[in-house]
C-alpha cells in the first residue's frame, strides 16, 4: 500500500486552490515572453496576491537599511547609513543571543521587541493595557491563527468543532480550518450594503449547524479581505455581544488596520471595543487578534513576521498555547525585526524620518488614487459592479457573465470566474484571482485584484481590463 493512502484524510480533503492553476500558467507565459514569444502584451501583470513588492511597490528604505546592518554588522561602523539606522541595528543586535540574527530567540519573540509591540497596541487602543506575556510573535498572522485553532479544535470530538467564517474570506484560513478537521460554517456578508456584517446572518449560520457540528469560534476580518469593508463600532459591539451569548472564541484578523481610506471609515480594534464595553464582557469574552508586517505600507511578506495578542484566555490554556508555539522554536529573527520597525518607525527629528515620511506618503497617495480609479473604471464597464472599497488592498467586483461564457466554462471543467480569469491572463496578460477562491453567494461571481501597486501599474492594469472586457462582452453576448 502506498504511503500516500495513509495520509491524514483532513489534508487529502482540502480543496485545491484554483489560483495555483492560474499562477502556473502565468509562469509559463512569463517564460514564453522571455524566450521571445509574440503576445499582445509585453509582460504579465500579477495583481493576484496581497503582496505589494510583487506588484512593484518599493520596500521602505529605513526597513531595508536596518535589516542590512543587522545582517552585516560592519555597516554599523560605516557612515553610509543614517545614524538612527545604525543605532537601531546596534540595539537590536544587542537583544539577540550572541549578537546575531542567526541565533534562536525566546519562543514568544525577542523580549524587548515583544514589549515594544505591547506599547504599540496600548497607544493604538487609546491606553487600554496590553500585557507582553499575552503576545506571541510568529512567522506571520496565518501561522498564529492556525496554532490558536489547534487549541480550539478537537478533531476527535463528536460532533466535530466548527468555525464561523465570513463569505467572502481569503482561502488560507479556510484551508487551515479544513486541514484541522473542523467544519467551516459560512456567514454571508451583505454585498449590496458595502459587504456589511449582519448579526441576523450570524444567527442564521449558527442555526444551520444544529446537530452537524459544535461551533467553537467566530472569525472576523477587519478591514476585509477580499471585500474591502471596514466595520463600524456598532457592528463590532453586536459581534462581541453575539460571541458572548453563544460562548464563541473571537478570532480577529486585523492585518490591514493601517490601510483604511473610506470617507467615513475608521479602524478600531476589537480589543479596544471590547475593553470600552466594560464588564462583564470585557472580562469574559475570549479574543485573539492578529497583525502582520506583511501587509499595509511595509509589505514585507517574505520576511514572515506577525503577532497574536490573547485576551481573557484561561492561564491553563495559555500553557498549552506556549507549548504549541515552542514546538517551532521561534519566529525568524528578521521577521521579528521587521515587526519592530513597523510598530516603532522613525519619529520626527530622527535622521531617517524625512525619507520614511516621503516614501510612506507616496504609497498612501498612490493607494488612494488607485482605489478611486479602480472603482470608477470597473463600475463604468459592462458586466461589472464594484462596492466602495473602504480598506485593505483589494478590489472585489462582481462580474455578470453571459450564459455562453458559463456554458463554455462548464465544457472545459472550470468555474465561470476561473474561466474568465484564465481568458484575461491569456489574452491581455493580467493575473487576477477568481471569486470562487474566497466563497460567494450562489448565483454570484467575482474577481479579486490588488490595488496596492504603483500608479502606472494600476493604470496599465485598468487599461488592459477595459480593453479585454469590452471585447469579451461583445464576443459572448
pLDDT 10s digits, 188-217:
999 999 999 999 999 999 999 988 899 999
User: Omega before 244 cis (within 30°)?
Assistant: no
Are residue 409 and residue 443 in the same domain, yes or no? Answer: yes
62 belongs to a structural domain: no
The candidate with the shortest Cα–Cα distance to 392, out of 451, 448, 433, is: 451
Q: Decide if pLDDT at 7 tops 60.
A: no
72 belongs to a structural domain: no
Cβ contacts of 341 within 8 Å, gap of 6 or more? 62, 63, 66, 88, 293, 298
pLDDT at 8: 59
Q: How far apart are CA 184 and CA 71, in angstroms?
A: 42
Q: How far, in whole angstroms, is CA 51 from its chain's centroid?
A: 9
- Rounded to the nearest 10°, the torsion over CA 110, 116, 121, 122 is 130
295-309 mean pLDDT: 91
Q: Any idea which of 16-25, 90-99, 273-282, 397-406 has the lowest mean pLDDT?
A: 16-25
pLDDT at 326: 85
Q: Decide if pLDDT at 4 tops 60.
A: no
Sort residue 349 into left (φ over 0), alpha (ψ -120 to 50) or beta.
left
Work out the pLDDT band at 20, boundaries 50, 70, 90. confident
Range of the domain at 422: 3-56+356-476
- Grid cell, residue 254, equals 486585523
* 100, 249, 281, 344 from 312: Cα distances, Å: 35, 10, 10, 26
pLDDT at 324: 86
* Unique residue bearing C-alpha cell 519566529: 331
| CATH, residue 308 | 3.40.640.10
Are residue 225 and residue 262 in the same domain, yes or no? Answer: yes
- Grid cell, residue 113, equals 521587541
Are residue 309 and residue 364 in the same domain, yes or no? Answer: no
> pLDDT digit string (tens) for 223-252?
999 999 999 999 999 999 999 999 999 999
DSSP 8-class letter at 253: E
114-119 mean pLDDT: 97
98 belongs to a structural domain: no
Are residue 8 and residue 29 in the same domain, yes or no? Answer: yes
pLDDT at 328: 81
269-286 mean pLDDT: 98
| Structure-model confidence comparison of residues 194 and 15, the more confident one | 194
CB atoms within 10 A of CB 440: 20
Secondary structure class of 350 (helix, strand, coil): coil
Are residue 281 and residue 252 in the same domain, yes or no? Answer: yes
324 belongs to a structural domain: yes
Are residue 173 and residue 248 in the same domain, yes or no? Answer: yes
Average pLDDT score over the chain? 93
Are residue 313 and residue 167 in the same domain, yes or no? Answer: yes
Are residue 321 and residue 188 in the same domain, yes or no? Answer: yes
pLDDT at 454: 95
47 neighbors 433 (Cβ within 8 angstroms): no
385-413 mean pLDDT: 95
Amino acid at each position: 500500500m502506498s504511503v500516500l493512502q495513509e495520509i491524514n484524510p483532513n489534508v487529502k480533503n482540502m480543496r485545491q486552490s484554483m489560483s495555483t492553476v492560474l499562477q502556473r500558467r502565468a509562469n509559463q507565459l512569463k517564460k514564453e515572453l522571455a524566450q521571445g514569444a509574440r503576445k499582445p502584451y509585453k509582460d504579465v501583470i500579477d495583481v493576484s496576491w496581497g503582496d505589494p513588492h510583487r506588484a512593484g511597490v518599493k520596500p521602505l528604505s529605513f526597513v531595508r537599511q536596518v535589516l542590512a546592518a543587522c545582517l552585516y554588522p560592519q555597516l554599523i561602523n560605516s557612515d553610509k547609513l543614517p545614524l538612527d539606522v545604525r543605532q537601531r541595528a546596534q540595539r537590536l543586535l544587542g537583544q539577540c543571543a550572541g549578537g546575531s540574527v542567526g541565533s534562536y530567540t525566546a519562543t514568544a519573540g525577542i523580549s524587548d521587541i515583544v514589549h515594544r509591540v505591547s506599547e504599540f497596541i496600548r497607544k493604538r487602543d487609546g491606553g487600554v493595557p496590553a500585557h507582553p506575556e499575552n503576545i506571541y510573535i510568529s512567522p506571520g498572522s496565518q501561522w498564529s491563527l492556525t496554532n490558536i485553532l489547534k487549541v480550539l479544535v478537537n478533531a476527535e470530538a463528536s460532533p466535530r468543532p466548527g468555525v464561523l467564517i465570513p463569505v467572502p474570506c481569503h482561502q488560507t484560513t479556510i484551508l487551515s480550518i479544513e486541514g484541522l478537521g473542523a467544519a467551516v460554517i459560512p456567514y454571508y456578508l451583505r454585498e449590496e450594503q458595502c459587504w456589511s456584517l449582519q448579526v441576523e446572518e450570524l444567527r442564521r449560520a449558527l442555526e444551520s449547524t444544529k446537530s452537524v457540528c459544535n461551533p467553537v469560534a467566530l472569525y472576523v476580518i477587519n478591514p476585509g479581505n477580499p471585500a474591502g469593508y471596514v466595520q463600524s463600532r456598532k457592528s463590532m459591539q453586536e459581534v462581541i455581544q453575539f460571541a458572548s451569548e453563544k460562548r464563541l472564541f473571537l478570532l480577529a484578523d486585523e492585518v490591514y488596520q493601517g490601510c483604511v481610506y473610506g470617507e467615513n471609515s475608521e479602524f478600531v480594534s476589537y480589543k479596544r471595543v471590547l475593553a470600552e464595553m466594560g464588564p462583564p464582557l470585557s472580562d469574559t469574552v475570549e479574543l485573539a487578534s492578529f497583525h502582520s508586517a506583511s501587509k499595509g505600507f511595509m509589505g514585507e511578506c517574505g520576511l514572515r513576521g506577525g503577532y497574536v495578542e490573547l485576551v481573557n484566555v484561561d492561564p491553563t490554556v495559555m500553557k498549552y498555547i506556549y507549548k504549541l508555539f515552542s514546538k517551532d522554536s521561534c519566529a525568524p529573527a528578521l521577521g521579528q525585526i521587521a515587526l519592530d520597525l513597523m510598530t516603532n518607525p522613525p519619529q520626527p527629528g530622527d535622521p531617517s524620518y524625512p525619507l520614511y515620511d516621503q516614501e510612506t506618503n507616496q504609497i498612501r497617495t498612490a493607494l488612494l488614487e488607485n482605489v478611486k480609479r479602480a472603482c470608477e473604471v470597473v463600475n463604468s464597464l459592462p458586466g461589472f459592479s464594484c462596492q466602495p472599497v473602504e480598506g485593505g488592498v483589494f478590489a472585489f467586483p462582481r462580474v455578470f457573465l453571459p450564459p455562453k461564457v458559463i456554458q463554455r466554462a462548464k465544457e472545459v471543467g472550470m468555474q465561470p470566474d476561473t474561466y474568465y480569469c484564465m481568458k484575461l491572463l491569456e489574452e491581455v496578460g493580467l493575473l487576477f484571482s477568481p471569486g470562487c477562491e474566497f466563497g460567494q453567494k450562489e448565483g454570484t461571481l467575482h474577481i479579486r485584484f490588488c490595488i496596492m501597486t504603483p500608479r502606472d501599474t494600476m493604470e496599465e492594469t485598468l487599461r488592459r481590463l477595459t480593453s479585454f472586457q469590452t471585447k469579451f462582452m461583445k464576443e459572448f453576448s
